[in-house]
Homo-oligomer: A and B are copies of this chain.
Amino acid sequence: MPNTEKPLPLPSIRRLPTYLQVLRTLKAQGRDIVSCTHIAQDLDISSIQVRKDLALTGITGKPKVGYAITDLIAAIENFLGWDNHSDAFLVGVGSLGRALLRYDGFVGQGLNIVAAFDSDPAKVGQSVAGKEIYALDRLPDLSARLHVKIGILTVPATAANDAVYALVMAGMRAIWNFTPAKLEVPTPVVVEDVRLHASLAVLTNRLSEMLKRERQADAQAV
């Protein structure tokens, strides 16, 4: 069998949720049709990029007219797997874990946290934002019952790989990793790292470069 898998352009996938946000706003305003140009202007990016990104989802528009907003929303949601409710478990109910459990911005955004797990017996039995906290050994049985495939990792970095092992053994196929640890998983498991330090690095480097330039300009002006 030939390898027909074309690698998907990650930058494009990352932009799709932003389009979804715009489209939902437009729909709420009662609009039915939208052009790439419109979306592009709204987000201050190029219309060609928007068109290429949207084409990924398989949807087609009508020349001179544009795209049907409802169809476009459905196509993006389907492409991202956000249409069939994406239930998730969260492991590690520290401050970040609590924040994610309480965050309501993921509703209708492909993520629905159904239960939390923690190794601390003092936390087990409590609940946060209506989601109960279980002991880690309940993972296999709850996972089997609820058919959950996504695990959110918010444990301390040192506990990361143990927790991942438990998640994968319990049948998780995707891990959203909020720890700075490099995870070791068997190949048929998807890992996405949320690298806050990487983002911070870009911020501070650019700030520092900007301040340096200004100091140089000041020195030259004297």
Contact = CB atoms under 8 A, between A and B. Distances in A.
A61 to B, nearest CB: 21
Interface stretch (A118-126, A138-146, A172-180): A172-180
A210 B173 contact: yes
17 contacts: A5-B213, A10-B202, A13-B201, A14-B199, A15-B198, A17-B198, A18-B198, A21-B180, A81-B204, A82-B204, A95-B103, A109-B200, A111-B200, A174-B206, A176-B200, A192-B200, A192-B202
Nearest to A149: B207
Given A96-B103, A98-B95, A208-B81, A14 B180 contact: no
* A interface, over-half SS: helix
Interface of A: 5, 8, 10, 13-18, 21, 43-44, 79-82, 86, 95-96, 98-99, 102-103, 105-106, 109-111, 149-150, 157, 173-174, 176, 180, 182, 188, 190, 192, 194-211, 213
A200 B70 CA distance: 22
Contacts of A211: 149, 173
